[in-house]
Amino acid sequence: MSARTARFDRGHTDDLMSFLAASPSPYHAVAGAAARLEKAGFRQVLETDAWDGTHGGKYVLRGGAIIAWYVPEGAEPHTPFRIVGAHTDSPNLRVKPLPDTGAYGWRQIAVEVYGGTLLNTWLDRDLGLAGRLTLRDGSHRLVNIDRALLRVPQLAIHLDRSANDGLKLDRQKHLQPIWGLGEVEEGDLIRFLEQESGLDDGDVTGWDLMVHSIEPPSYLGRDRELVAGPRMDNLLSVHAGTAALAAVTESGELPYIPVLAAFDHEENGSQADTGADGPLLGNVLERSVFARGGAYEDRARAFAGTVCLSSDTGHAVHPNYAERHDPTHHPRANGGPILKVNVNQRYATDGSGRAVFARACERAGVPWQTFVSNNAMPCGTTIGPITAARHGIQTVDIGVAILSMHSARELCGAQDPYLLANALTAFLEA
């Protein structure tokens, strides 16, 4: 992938679709990103080990988060960083600590709503189950039951004649998926997952599990110019950032240290040890400075020259609800990445950040657009303001414009993921 051409590469979008399908949980997403980086020559370093200052690509995994960076030859301790920030989690339904429930001869799984999901998009959809199992010895095992295992059945219209006048779902009563018939048996779900994973009965002592739609991503439309798929918010950015970081390692001399920071738990506030509001990114950057022989003064100089592009999805103008958008800002699918602006700091972009992003897009030959919320509508937020405030580094909010954000299945332009990856590559290079 070259940062200096914006010609559409469908191979990039094909690979994104494979990445989405293989990443039903944040744990699978970071494993997939790590595998791609390993092919580019990166190696994992453990937080519990001493780090050295050698050049090359390195990454840290912690739960559903990954921080990866590439140290060019000759990098000084005070060399600034260029960071692509993203998040690995998506709104969904997650399994409760006591999962086995049911009534009236139906066996169900107790779930909790994670993030601001569109609840109705989980109804009458074939669902799988995925996540991370924690074993008795403290190790982890990824699990992915990617077949029709669960379903949240909607009430028939004959029993709710007003359903089309405004569906109201009780989060506790109406969203517990069915997975079989018979009496409820305590421990049944975990025993099932142990068998599916080739584990012995009682091996699993902890779990972080979530449901996912098993319908694969697909091209959509007469000319296949759109892509429908799950978890684009925000695995689209994780995938583009991974591709960009791998690409810049093939460049010549780099004036910055390029970084990918993909966090978990953005959808519920980022306050976690794997979230953007935690210490993970700062610790990794500081340790990189110190491993190269730097001191606090070098750390301060490096951070002062650092810029982060916080890449997250944004809203494309909706043809059926155009009045919900700002009348002069209408981002369109396949129009290129968007610059996200909010003067109340829901996004971290300012004028100087706009110039950084514009320069990267110009260098990459990529068109770009601007998003701002309608004044009468509340504005969402991202890891951008958190990153800027926590680490004192310049941060710019960008992304790709999509429809159906926070649905179980979202929609974007087929060209936009590649255009974003090109822009991110150009940003990391110079």
End-to-end CA distance of the chain: 16
Q: What are phi and psi of 112, to 5 degrees?
A: -120, 145
Task: Give the number of C-alpha atoms closer than 13 A to the C-alpha of residue 281, restricted to the C-beta side.
Answer: 33
* Residue in this structure with the two tokens 């995925």, named with its chain if needed: 130
Low pLDDT (below 50) residues in the chain: 1-5
∠ CA 257-52-37, nearest 5°, is 50
Distance (Å, rounded) from C-alpha 132 to C-alpha 63?
9
Distance between CA atoms of residues 72 and 295, nearest Å: 19
**Amino acid of residue 11:** G
The rounded distance, in Å, linking the Cα atoms of 87 and 382 is 9
The structure tokens listed for 47 are 């937080």
CA distance 423 to 248: 12
Give the pLDDT of residue 76: 96
Q: Please tell me the predicted confidence (pLDDT) of residue 3.
A: 41
Mean pLDDT of the chain: 96
For the sheet containing 314-315, what is the strand order?
218-220, 226-229, 410-413, 401-403, 314-315
DSSP bridge partners of 61:
66
SS3 78: coil
Q: Which helix (H) or strand (E) holds 354?
A: helix 351-364
pLDDT single digits (tens) 274-332:
999 999 999 999 999 999 999 999 999 999 999 999 999 999 999 999 999 999 999 99
Helix axes 296-304, 280-291, angle to 10 degrees: 120
Decide if 176 contacts 109 (C-beta within 8 A).
Answer: yes
